[in-house]
Structure 1
């Protein structure tokens, strides 16, 4: 496997813009809390390290990954948010529940971005087991929360640049 020993959260070849002009919502699932809390910490710290002000980061907890779409929609509807980051973890089980949840969440987050015309970032781990989730929540493969935050900043900045009027 190509990613077996690679930290996927390497931004050395990417310039991440200043996050200070933007407001972010982080919607995080409570289910698989050990993993999602690590993702949340990674995303929150990354935003702050890139200049986001604490008062411009809204954290919203929802029960599980399926509810991420609804929570993010509520945030985008009720708050002035430049980008929303959806963080969750779905671990493969013995039933097809995994497939249904992952598909619904991925499609729901995509539809949110289209509906609101704002970045909605998919920071949901979809792993075969707990070890893979830990590897991507601050372990040997980095922190998907940091990656989601980097994406949110880049996309908020892109939207801002594209909306610039002369």
Structure 2
């Protein structure tokens, strides 16, 4: 433990934060719902609208590249990855899920920036719909909490 630990409520103050969101368009109905829930929660946590940069990419495999560009540019306290990968009948699901997840993790570690990974990986559309709002909110909360923790630890 690093001395007196701030409570979760203190770490959920987004008033001073700049957040980048990368949203995959593939499975757009799901990713739009993820993004809407995420943005609403960021605003509820105090992140100013003008401090949220939201970009769209074709699919989950393109998310890490956009995250990397944002991390290299700087100016963000945390990033958020939004996408939806639904299992199909081929190996493509595993490829996209594994590679996008590994890419998101690598960018966060390489650039030492918190990234909330809300790229859903589900068996079917029903599972994705059931998770879209909750995971969007979760992503916003993780980004804000981890940005504040990162600041606290530096």
Same fold (TM over 0.5): yes
Give the unaligned 5+ runs of structure 1: 1-13
* Alignment match, 1:31: 26
CA drift of 1:17 comes to: 1.8
* Alignment match, 1:115: 110
Runs of 4+ in 1 over 4 A off after TM superposition: none
Q: In structure 1, how many angstroms separate the alpha carbons of the residues matched to 2:74 and 2:88?
A: 36
* Alignment match, 2:142: 151
Give the unaligned 5+ runs of structure 2: 1-7
Q: In structure 2, how many angstroms separate the alpha carbons of the residues matched to 1:106 and 1:121?
A: 11
Q: TM-score, normalised by structure 2?
A: 0.92
* Alignment match, 2:38: 43
Q: In structure 1, how many angstroms separate the alpha carbons of the residues matched to 2:128 and 2:12?
A: 28
Q: How does 1:80-119 map to 2 (within 5 A)?
A: 80-119=75-114
Q: TM-score, normalised by structure 1?
A: 0.85
Q: In structure 1, how many angstroms separate the alpha carbons of the residues matched to 2:28 and 2:94?
A: 20
Q: In structure 2, how many angstroms separate the alpha carbons of the residues matched to 1:77 and 1:149?
A: 21
CA drift of 1:76 comes to: 1.3
Q: In structure 1, how many angstroms separate the alpha carbons of the residues matched to 2:126 and 2:74?
A: 36
* Alignment match, 2:152: 161
> RMSD between aligned alpha carbons?
1.0
SS at match of 2:56: strand
Q: In structure 2, how many angstroms separate the alpha carbons of the residues matched to 1:69 and 1:121?
A: 12
Q: In structure 2, how many angstroms separate the alpha carbons of the residues matched to 1:114 and 1:103?
A: 17
CA drift of 1:79 comes to: 3.8
Deviations 1:125-158 (A, max 9, x none): 10000010000013xxxx2111011000010000
Deviations 1:12-40 (A, max 9, x none): xx535210111000100001000000000
